[in-house]
Amino acid sequence: MKVGIVGKGGVGKTTLSSLICEGFRARGKRVLAIDTDSNPNLAISLGLSEEAANSAPIVPRALAVGGMAQWTPERLIETFALTTPSGIMMLHAMRVDQAGAGCTCTSHAAVRSILGSAIEEMADITLVDMEAGLEHLSRSGGTLAYADILLMVMEPTRKSILTAARTIELAQELGIPRIAGVGNKAKLPQDAAFYEEVAAEFGVPIAGIVPWNADVPLADRRGTPILPEEAASVRAAVEGLLEFIESPEAERNALLAERARIERRLIQLNAD
């Protein structure tokens, strides 16, 4: 299973990515996490030190031009991956250390090559924490073109949900089979109702709603992962996301939601 995590900056992609990875690892899955942010922080959220994260080897850009033929998934991971305290394999796809260093397009293409290879030999779950924005869905044929499921992390704002709606159109063009939004930082119950109402308006299927919890910004201020005894409500919501990712029922729900979106669009066009 190859999972892409996308969304606007600051919506909580990296925090949710780390908790999803840890959740699958706790279930005994072999987990490969790939950080594609040019300012990578996923390693820290997974329990590695700042020193280890900042000195991590970067996946070579040569993979973008057929270089995977020279790299078996096993050799790739042995050479470039870090191992987190819980046993998650961690790859850094890029890091910007210098001004004027050039475009990161080939780094995104390298990630695409990895996802298109037989990475299942080494990982049951491969999760890609994408950089903020939508450009990565158009770069190099689409960084996430080989993803099985795309989760769009949203804040309780119309702009964030609108971004998710725009993401759906691009992801569908790439042929990603399952696409759904995740409502994050929800102050219940009002934000849950907001997500459901506005997501329905924009045709965004919801995989789950993650409540706001003070332990999350506390961990960010400490510069550490969320501790096992912290953020119980968030962890419970993440368990629901794991079920969504693994369940065939989720695919049926996504298809039904997409059909409803098309029907609403047809009604709107007829009205116009």
Q: In CATH, what number does 2-271 get?
A: 3.40.50.300
Residue 201, token pair as written in the block: 């308006």
- Give the pLDDT band of residue 114 (cuts 50, 70, 90): confident
Residue 137 has pLDDT above 80, yes or no: no
Phi first, then psi, for residue 241 (nearest 5°) are -65, -35
Residue 256 has pLDDT above 60, yes or no: no
Give the 3-state secondary structure of residue 58. strand
Contact 130, 13 (CB under 8 A): yes
* Helix, strand, coil shares, percent, the chain, to 5: 50, 15, 35
Residue 77 and residue 162: Cα distance in Å, rounded? 37
Residue 256 and residue 142: Cα distance in Å, rounded? 25
Q: What is the pLDDT of residue 110?
A: 66
- Tell me, what DSSP letter sits at residue 202? H
> So where are the chain's domains?
2-271
Residue 128, token pair as written in the block: 């890609």
Residue 99, token pair as written in the block: 């001004």
Residue 141 and residue 138: Cα distance in Å, rounded? 6
Residues 6+ apart with CB under 8 A from 62: 110
Residue 156, token pair as written in the block: 């309780």
Nearest-5° Cα angle at 73, 67 to 76: 65
- In the chain, the percentage of residues whose pLDDT exceeds 70 is 76
Whole-model pTM: value is: 0.84
Between these two residues, 57 and 221, which has the higher pLDDT value? Answer: 221
Q: What is the pLDDT of residue 52?
A: 87
Count CB-CB contacts under 10 A for residue 7.
Answer: 25
Instruction: Look at the block and give the residue holding tokens 């059909």.
Output: 259
Mean pLDDT score, 38-61: 84
Mean pLDDT score, 159-186: 92
Residue 222 and residue 52: Cα distance in Å, rounded? 17
Residue 3 and residue 167: Cα distance in Å, rounded? 15
Residue 257, token pair as written in the block: 């939601």
Among 107, 96, 101, 92, smallest CA distance to 58 is for 92
- Tell me, what DSSP letter sits at residue 5? E
Residue 140 has pLDDT above 60, yes or no: no
